């Protein structure tokens, strides 16, 4: 009916869906949305229609995206134990430390537990990597990204 190929229509619909979902995720203002679609080169009438479509549906889109988000487990508690093997039948003088952790997680009001075991050197490396990631989260660039994700 439109004398346009199926691929063109499919790409147009996918582009419109992407524009609306990303704009709704970031909760961008009217001015930012207009600036974003102005670059596309549409007519003023179409830009106004897209803006109205965005303003009318952004809260509903956000609620749908919130329902579709995966429910990840959250931290509940941690138990740990340090085991050290000092000797065995074949080796009388050995020190073999191991850290055993039981991580209790809360997922959809159900408590689950994961048992993890590692050596102290690997645990120290993991701690350093997590502290580095926390340090990077304090940077202005990361703060802006996190603020826009909410």
What per-residue confidence (pLDDT) applies to 2? 73
Please tell me the predicted confidence (pLDDT) of residue 91. Answer: 79
Q: What is the pLDDT of residue 86?
A: 85
Give the residues of the chain that fall short of pLDDT 70: 148-150
Q: What is the pLDDT, as a whole number, of residue 150?
A: 56
Q: In what side-by-side order are the strands of the sheet with 110-118?
A: 74-85, 96-107, 110-118
Distances 49 to 17, 28, 59, 68 between C-alpha atoms, Å: 15, 17, 17, 27
């Amino acid at each position: 009916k439109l004398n346009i190929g199926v691929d063109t229509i499919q790409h147009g619909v996918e582009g419109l869906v992407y524009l609306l979902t990303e704009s709704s995720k970031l909760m961008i203002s009217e001015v930012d949305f207009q600036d974003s679609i102005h670059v596309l080169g549409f007519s003023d009438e179409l830009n106004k229609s897209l803006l109205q479509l965005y303003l009318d549906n952004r809260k509903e889109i956000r609620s749908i995206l919130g329902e579709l988000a995966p429910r990840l487990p959250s931290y509940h508690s941690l138990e740990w134990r340090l085991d050290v093997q000092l000797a065995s039948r074949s080796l009388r003088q050995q020190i073999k430390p191991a850290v055993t952790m039981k991580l209790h997680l809360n997922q959809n009001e159900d408590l689950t537990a994961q048992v993890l075991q590692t050596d102290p050197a690997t645990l120290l490396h993991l701690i350093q990597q997590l502290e580095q990631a926390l340090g990077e989260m304090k940077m202005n660039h990361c703060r802006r990204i996190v603020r826009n994700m909410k």
